[in-house]
Amino acid sequence: MAPFFPPRPKAESIRTAICHEQPSDSNPFVAQKTLWHGYDAAKLAERHGWTEILFLLARGELPSPAQDRLLNRLMAALANPGPRDAAVRAAMNCGVGKTSLPTILSTGLTVRGGMAEGAMHIEAAMWFLAGQLPADPERNVEAHDHPKQLVDDYRRFWQEHHDDEVVALPEIPPGFGLHYGDRDPRALELLRLVGDDRGAGVRLALAIEGVLAAEETPLFLTLPGVAAAVLRDLGFSPEHGAGIFLIAGSAGILTHGVEQLPRNWNEYPFWNDKAYYNYEGPVPDKKVEDVA
């Protein structure tokens, strides 16, 4: 007897240009063969690595050896944001609080999705390097002062529109600034790793850095700025770039959170450190009975 499948409630179907599933002869809900952008998924898994598949899914074609090498270096550099990072600290708090494993990772990724050195910052930096903050079709990308035009246009745009968004854009052009009051050493290290594979995006980012570094208050490329430039050179959209930034950092977020699972709650944070936090509220001399 043939299996019974209820009729579809609607005639519409899921549409995708990424994944094609060839159904089994015996069960239309089981894929006998899966193609990703036309490539046999099983053969891809045999012959290609993780970053190649990541590139394929986003771009529609496998990367060249140079592109795969660059993406590998970027993913490695971003793999562990470290315990100073807000997303990692969020995951560590979840771990010491004995929350479930999926919560540890998802909480860390939620924090890393924000504007403060997070995925939203990467996306904004990629739009900025693309000349879309703000867009100006008359801007001459070949002009010698193009980097300065981008900076001036962004600052004017920020003054006019920084209150328009639910999450405001940073006052400093995204991808640039200081790291704990100094030049970001992580950005310099990533630039070193990129080496001779610097594309137009990285070169433009360095030119913009030259403009900002010459000002009265010097500013420089940050790690998110270099990452955004590299992702742009690899041809990723700002949305995909933001997502890849999240994927890369998930390794460190997960491991730091899991590390805290066996710890006791009074081991973290560091309660015996009197300088851990300072109380700045009212003098604690009120009594419950004094409240009307």
The DSSP code for 182 is: B
pLDDT in tens, 130-183: 999 999 999 999 999 999 999 999 999 999 988 888 889 999 999 999 999 999
3-state secondary structure of 33: strand
- Quote the strand ranges of 106-184, DSSP E: 176-177
Determine the length of the chain.
Answer: 292
In DSSP notation, 113-124 reads TSSSSSHHHHHH
What is the reported pLDDT for 15? 84
Q: How far apart are CA 43 and CA 34, in angstroms?
A: 10
Identify the band that residue 292 occupies on the pLDDT scale cut at 50, 70 and 90: low
**For residue 94, what are the contacts with CB-CB under 8 A and spacing of at least 6?**
103, 104, 107, 108, 257, 260
Of the candidates 266, 257, 260, 197, which has an alpha carbon nearest to the alpha carbon of residue 226?
A: 197
Residues paired with 179 in a beta bridge: 182
- Residue 59: what pLDDT? 97
Percent with pLDDT over 70 in the chain: 90
Lowest mean pLDDT among 40-44, 197-201, 266-270: 266-270
**Residue 228 is inside which H or E element, if any?**
helix 223-233
Q: Which residues contact residue 51 at a Cβ distance below 8 angstroms, ignoring those fewer than 6 apart?
A: 63, 68, 71, 72, 75
pLDDT band at 283 (very low <50, low <70, confident <90, very high): confident
Q: Is 185 exposed, middle or buried (0-12, 13-18, 19+ CB in 10 A)?
A: exposed
Phi and psi, residue 177, nearest 5° = 145, -150
Domain chopping of the chain, boundaries = 19-64, 78-267
Q: What is the DSSP letter of 135?
A: B
Residues 6+ apart with CB under 8 A from 98: 261
Residue 245 burial by CB count (10 A; 0-12/13-18/19+): exposed, middle or buried?
buried
Rounded Cα distance, 162 and 261, in Å: 40
In this predicted structure, the answer to whether residue 186 has a pLDDT above a threshold of 90 is yes
pLDDT of residue 82: 94
Q: List, for residues 212-231, the tens digit of each pLDDT value.
A: 999 999 999 999 999 999 99
pLDDT digits (tens, 9 = 90+) for 44-91: 999 999 999 999 999 999 999 999 999 999 999 999 999 999 999 999
Q: What percent of the chain has pLDDT over 90?
A: 79
Please give the C-alpha separations between residue 249 and each of 20, 54, 155, in angstroms, as whole numbers: 29, 15, 30
Task: Judge if the upstream peptide bond of residue 28 is cis by omega within 30 degrees of 0.
Answer: no
